[in-house]
Amino acid sequence: MKFVLNSSLLSQRLQLTGRVITAKNSLPILNNFLFEIEGQKLRITASDNECTLKTTIELIESEQDIRFTVNAKTIQDAMKEIPDQPLEFFVGSNLDVTIQYQGGHYNFMAQPADEYPITSEMPDDAAQLNVDAELLYEALGRAIFATANDPLRPVMNGVFFDIAPNNATVVATDAQKLTCNKMLNTQASKEGAFILPKKPAGLLKNVLQKETGDVRIHFNERNADINTENFEMSCRLIEGKFPNYSAVIPKDNPNIVTVNRDALMATLRRVLIFSGAASTLVKLQLSPSKLTISSQDIDFAMSAEESLLCEYSGNPMSIGFKGPSLLEIINNVQGEDVIIRLADASRAGVIIPAEQKENEEVQMILMPLMLPD
């Protein structure tokens, strides 16, 4: 049996889908990709038994339908080294595989596909959400970094989707920082919510980087099916109740500072070099037209201080934040300027872009650290 396809396209899809596969699988067959030829299409499947990712490639030529599995590392490494060209696959009756390319060939053994697990179909009454791929990609990028790694509170180890008929909010928190990304102009069959685990969320973000059009998400209490133009993902969801995130977001922070995003990030990076290794505390001191950022490491007698021009309306005040968390949040807020809304030194700060992009509302919340006397 023979089929032909493009080497670069195959390599790209193998690298993306292969990220599902873990180093230690409960089933040895899950160390393999499942290849399924149907007509003029090749469907490639990778799974870790919790999350399954599929992609479909149009074939240049195909002789007949066939199913088999190939070792993931072998085929991924082999495809990396081949320049862009048509590849000819020959599969024998005993699943011996020959890949012919310009100037050479590979030979290896495939395995039967009979033991490869099959994902269950989503029920017809499952809820559905349609959202633009670029919008979802950006929302996930601003959420994944804020997820927790807490075995005692697994609901905080994923990305929460809060779905209304015309909008969907993507939320993540580790109890110190919280990201809230409302996507407007979405379409949902009904209100609902689910918690997407961190690994599938990261895989989906990677997939969406080059996808266009709408993403279709079907979900129930335990599972989600996510479909893009070129990929299908099925995964188990985190069961449990996500914290009431809206109650955490401050409603009235009267002290407002607007500052250039790039300048603030550069200052934080320089000042953080001299912060204490344990606390990584940075102090923000606010006064009209000036934001002063400082840090110190008492154990090594080091300190740093730097001032930035800004627009500030409010009372002069000082507040402390964990420097790396503040830098991470600023890095995930797009735009030329950022706005930081504060109440006092003991209450959370709200960080938003100075100009919100179309069809989204972004808020980042960071809890303060106590300043030394």
Each residue's pLDDT tens digit, 266-289: 999 999 999 987 889 999 999 999
Each residue's pLDDT tens digit, 92-122: 999 999 999 998 999 999 999 999 998 888 8
Each residue's pLDDT tens digit, 250-266: 988 999 999 999 999 99
Each residue's pLDDT tens digit, 5-21: 999 999 999 999 999 99
Task: List every span in the chain annotated with CATH 3.10.150.10.
Answer: 2-109, 127-247, 249-366
Strands 290-297 and 337-342 come out as unpaired
For the domain 127-247, what is the CATH code? 3.10.150.10
Name the percent of the chain lying above pLDDT 90: 88
Written as six digits, the tokens of 55 are: 């992609």
- Taking residue 214's Cβ as centre, other Cβ atoms within 10 Å add up to 18
pLDDT band, residue 26 (cuts 50/70/90): confident
Residue in 332, 266, 331, 274 with CA at minimum distance from that of residue 298: 274
Mean pLDDT of 53-57: 97
Each residue's pLDDT tens digit, 160-192: 999 998 899 999 999 999 999 999 989 999 999
Each residue's pLDDT tens digit, 228-242: 999 999 999 999 999
Residue in 179, 167, 158, 8 with CA at minimum distance from that of residue 85: 8
Task: Round to whole Å and give the CA distance between 220 and 13.
Answer: 28
Each residue's pLDDT tens digit, 212-231: 999 999 999 999 999 999 99
CB-based contacts of 94: which residues, under 8 Å, 6+ apart?
none
Sheet of strand 167-173: strand arrangement: 192-197, 158-163, 167-173, 177-184, 360-366, 349-353, 337-342, 255-260, 311-313
**Cβ 37 vs Cβ 66: under 8 Å:** yes
CB-based contacts of 215: which residues, under 8 Å, 6+ apart?
130, 131, 132, 133, 136, 208, 226, 227, 228
Q: What angle do CA 139, 140, 142 make, to 5 degrees?
A: 70
With residue 339 as reference, give the H or E element that holds it: strand 337-342
pLDDT tops 90 at residue 55: yes
- Ramachandran region, residue 314 (left: φ > 0; alpha: ψ -120 to 50; beta: rest): left
User: Tell me, what's the pLDDT at 373?
Assistant: 66
pLDDT tops 90 at residue 372: no
Domain 2-109, CATH among 3.90.550.10, 3.30.470.20, 3.10.150.10, 3.20.20.330: 3.10.150.10
Written as six digits, the tokens of 314 are: 């409010």
Each residue's pLDDT tens digit, 122-140: 888 899 999 999 999 999 9
* Fold of the CATH domain 249-366: DNA Polymerase III; Chain A, domain 2 (3.10.150)
Each residue's pLDDT tens digit, 336-361: 999 999 999 999 999 999 999 999 99
Sheet of strand 317-322: strand arrangement: 302-309, 290-297, 281-287, 317-322
| Beta-carbon-side half-sphere exposure of residue 152 (alpha carbons within 13 Å) | 2
